[in-house]
Amino acid sequence: MRVLMVEDSQRLVQTVGAALRKVGYAVDVTGDGIEGLWLAESNDYDVIVLDIMLPGLDGLTLMQQLRQHGRNTHVLLLTARDTVADRVRGLQNGADDYLVKPFALDELLARVQALCRRAYGSKQTRLVIGDMELDTVARTVTRAGHPVELLAREHLLLEYLARRRGQVVTRNEIEAHIYEGKADLMSNVVDSAVCTLRRKLGAVNPTPLIHTRRGLGYVLEVSGT
């Protein structure tokens, strides 16, 4: 999952950005409204965490322009403005959620996660594919009832593939959503990550869940379906 954070407090950007990365999100950050709009229009983010009072371009205008340009990326407004009128204005201008500073870090992470689920049209926090069960809240994976230990990035990759089960997911999409767009086109970081994931899932049950579509990408599904 890829998140854009537009916030002019560098300290907040550092802490929240680090927290989002720790739970596996690919995070881009900027402290300027104009650059934030450019990033939001140039990339396919799952969620944008957006401050309102920004230099260059304020958050509400940024969001309006984003919506006018046809972008439906989920936006979480993160701001010090706490009145009902502010919240209403923010939501009416196209925000999907609103969080007032100061906030609990866990709440922010949960809201980002909820918006990510909505991005894929699902409200389920437990994804079951064959004998694999993935809990996106507890961040646990089991196969045939046995726990599978995954790193945060691996967990996120599995969740991304699981939410698009049965669909072919290209390497570029994986790079964009999981690796902050930083993966070199010639590198095999995606292939390596998929390989590791296959190995960990296959340790319990050798029946493959992640299948390669040559020249296209990967698809997560139970064999024979």
Partner 1 sequence: MNSIRAQLTRRLILGTVLLVGGGGAGAYLCMRAALINQFDDALRAKAQAVSAITELSADGDVELDLPGFQLPGFRANSSRDYFEIWRADGTVIARSDSLGEAHLPRPNPASGRPSIWNLDLQPGIPGRALSMTFAPRASDEITRPGPPVILSLVTASTRRELDRTLRAGMLVLGGGVAFLLLTTISLGPRLLNRVLRSLDTLSDQAARITASSLNTRFVTESMPVELQPITHRFNDLLARLETSFERERQFSADLAHELRTPLAELRSQAEFALKWPDCRAPNGNTETLAIALHMEAIVTRLLALARTENGQILIHREVVLLAAMVEEVWCPLADKATARQLQAQFQLNKAIQAEADPDMLREILANLLSNAVDYTPIRGNVEIVLTTANGHFALCISNTVQGLNAVDLENMFGRFWRKETARTGTDHAGLGLSLARAFAEALGWKLTAALDGPACLVMTLAGSLGERALENDGKNSEPKLH
Kindly list the residues in this chain that would bind partner 1 in the complex (CB under 8 A): 8-12, 14-16, 18-19, 22, 31, 53-55, 58, 80-83, 100-106
Q: 11 vs 214, which CB is nearer to partner 1?
A: 11
- Shortest separation between residue 184's beta carbon and partner 1, angstroms: 26
Between 31 and 217, name the residue whose CB sits nearer to partner 1.
31
Contacts 24+ apart (CB under 8 A), 91-95: 93/60, 93/63, 93/64, 93/67, 94/63, 94/64, 94/66, 94/67, 95/50, 95/63
Which one, 34 or 128, has the nearer CB to partner 1? 34
CB of 80 to partner 1, least distance (A): 4
Residue 8: CB minimum distance to partner 1, A: 4
Report how far residue 178's alpha carbon sits from residue 60's, in angstroms, rounded to the nearest whole number. Answer: 27
Q: Which is nearer to partner 1, 82 or 149 (CB)?
A: 82
Return the exposure string of 2-34: e unless at least 16 CB atoms fall within 10 Å of the residue's CB, then b.
bbbbbbbeeebbeebbebbeeebbbbbbbbebe
Residue placing its CB nearer to partner 1 in the complex, 78 or 193: 78
Instruction: State how beta strands 47-50 and 74-79 pair.
Output: parallel
What gap in Å lies between CA 194 and CA 141, rounded to an integer?
Answer: 16
